[in-house]
Structure 1
Amino acid sequence: MPTSTTNELKCEIWQLLREYQLSRSETVRNQLVQLNFGLVRKEAHYWMNQCRENYDDLVQVGCLGLIRAIERFEISKGHAFSSFAIPYIRGEIQHYLRDKGVTVRIPRRYLALQQRAIGISRSLRVKYNRQPTDAELADALEISIEEWQDIKLAWVNRAPLSLDVPVQDGEEGSTSLGELVPDHHYRSFQLAQEDQIRLQQALFQLEQRTREVLECVFLHDLTQKQVAEHLGISVVTVSRRVKKGLDLLKHLMCTADD
């Protein structure tokens, strides 16, 4: 699409968003859905290739996310609407797939590169005393930054984190992984993409056994007894690892916000 046409489209979308904030007109909202329908098609196509779900069903679900984004967008914050809308569209589709129990496939090459990236990321953190950038990781893996971002997206979305599973935490009652997420609009299925990545990176910084315990609880929805049996440790140890892991994740997420 020529640049002039793209700019005209962005301008039209912006004007309609401004009008919708004032009028809440269903007609204006439907115009915005039509103009941004390409975002839904792109996400639906991506997820169809990952799990072979029906394309039309994914489009319908993605449109619900787009409508939610239109209703919540605030012009005053200065965000690009497409960047704001994509996490909502993606989140709605992920919720749909999770409810259906769909397993998302990841290409074997992606799995191998992601495993290499974990070790490389640790080495670069030691070297630079900070999280490595996407460009640095891609360069170390000898792949393009675009391919690395595709790998990262596939890995993060390999199975939606069960963020609202309550975990008993002694006398303090229950807690959940979702409480670590800054924006509560994204709890459970609508976790913003950037928060998913930050949370996954924080998990990688935990020691292996603690990370395994948290992934069993929040990723695979296992009970603490099932985790103990799976990992060959006591239920008490699982409980302690969950508490320790959540405390560390909370600290790492807060540090990332600073």
Structure 2
Amino acid sequence: MTAVSARTAAERDVLTEPCGMTGVGTRSAVEDLPWVEDAGKIAPQDARSLSKAFFDRLRTLEEGTPTYQYARNTLIEMNLSLVRYAAQRFRNRAGDDTEDIIQVGTIGLIKAIDRFDLSREVEFTTFAIPYIVGEIKRFFRDTSWSVHVPRRLQELRVELAKAKETLSVRLDRDPTVKELAAHLDLSEEEVVEGLVAANGYSAGSLDVPSSGDDDGRQQRGHAEVLGDWDTAMETFENLHDLAPQLERLDERERLIVRMRFGAEMTQAQIGAELGISQMHVSRLLNRILRKLREGMSVVA
């Protein structure tokens, strides 16, 4: 992501002889602005004084014109050192994403430039740093969570962390949910919701050895000890509920069930064994199964 466009040929046409600071020239004709050939190399102290001149002129220019774009782009390039300065606060959290942090901070710098007004009588650096830091913090807030949770709960996690630290010092122990709720003027349910949501900030690997194995055996990863749904459990529960229903059948009905589902005999074989037709066996089985289903539904 490149926040600053390259110098255009039209901008270069207004460059005249160099003056004063390194990389700075004067504009010859229409606009009374110094030309900055390489704004990124301007020293911070020079950038501060030059920025005032550019801001003063920027507010009189029409947005979208080449001169306006030149002034705005130069302000961005001259003040990128503010982004690098602010990004240093987050170097321990950035890891390999330092370039992303610089890019995100540059967005904050651009917002600060677009909203800055010299009439505020405040230094631009003082005005810009909160915008840059705020944009970087927003980046971490939106991308650092392992599990996505609503922004409201992300912000509540930060408030809870601060409250726990304050109350721990005051009470010399970890605060309770009730004490946290009173301190933050929240309900206990909201505090619990925030504490639960905080678990989504980071995730651990399932291959990390679980604690609690003190008998000298090699520790197993969480994935090896986590419980799973046992498909046989449902079968066990169904058989447990079926047993009393089978007891309610008469002797002949229980015999038919044993032959059909225990011995896995066909209806024709059952009929031959009992001296009845296959059709009669089918009707008896349907009646027995209906009786068992009704009994099972009452239990459930």
- TM-score if structure 1 supplies the norm length? 0.41
Richer in helix (by share): 1
Q: Which has the larger radius of gyration?
A: 2
- TM-score if structure 2 supplies the norm length? 0.36
Greater RCO structure (CA 8 Å; 6+ sep): 1
